[in-house]
Structure 1
Amino acid sequence: MVMTIGLPTQQKTRNNQLYVEHLSDDIQDHVYQAILEGVYKMFQMFGGSLSEVLADPSKKGKLKDFLDWQIPRLRVQHADLLDVFQGVQFLPLDKHAFLRVQCFVNRLEGRFGEIR
């Protein structure tokens, strides 16, 4: 599978001349690769492997329908490092460690109102 992403641009002026600067540093390849892999894993769960779809022409419509449904829901503009790890995973903690972490989080939220 291949995903094509347009680079964000910004218009700037130099020597009284307008030009477009491409902001390639704003694109994180590993984040978008993780998104693409997630889309493929979801398709595999519902529609089988890509090689099966390509081998059977009657299944190509199923792939198109899935991608037409899935792609608008991706929210690629909000992708970040958490998409690489597919969210935050919580490990089991003993009661004392959990209470210390909970207390720390509560203190952070109390001190910095913008943290939620």
Structure 2
Amino acid sequence: MTQYLIFFNQQWVGDHPAEWFAERGPLARAAVEEMREAGVLVFAGGLEEDPAEGFSADATSGELTFSTGPYRQTPEFVGGMTIVDVPGEDEARYWGGRVAEACGWPQEVRPFKG
């Protein structure tokens, strides 16, 4: 089995009315439940939309430091992720597509190094 990360950048979501997002929630929860029932779900969750809600840890100077907000200000940041443990790429494609359809925005799917 191989674990795959299915994720999206918050900027890929696009601008939609609140009603549109309300309709997507049940679809996304159903996709996650389908993964759970299939026994492939490792983790699924969205992140706080404001990167300043997080913090960064940096040891590149030889001393560990923590700072508020993202490590680097970038135009894109991860909005949510799902990890599945599946036999191969075909199954990863299925679940990545399932999440993309349920959420209504693109997903990137990448295997973890073995």
Q: Same fold (TM over 0.5)?
A: no
Which protein has the bigger helix share? 1
* Between structures 1 and 2, the one with greater strand share: 2
Structure with max Cα Rg: 1
TM-score, length basis structure 2: 0.31
Structure 1 length-normalised TM: 0.30
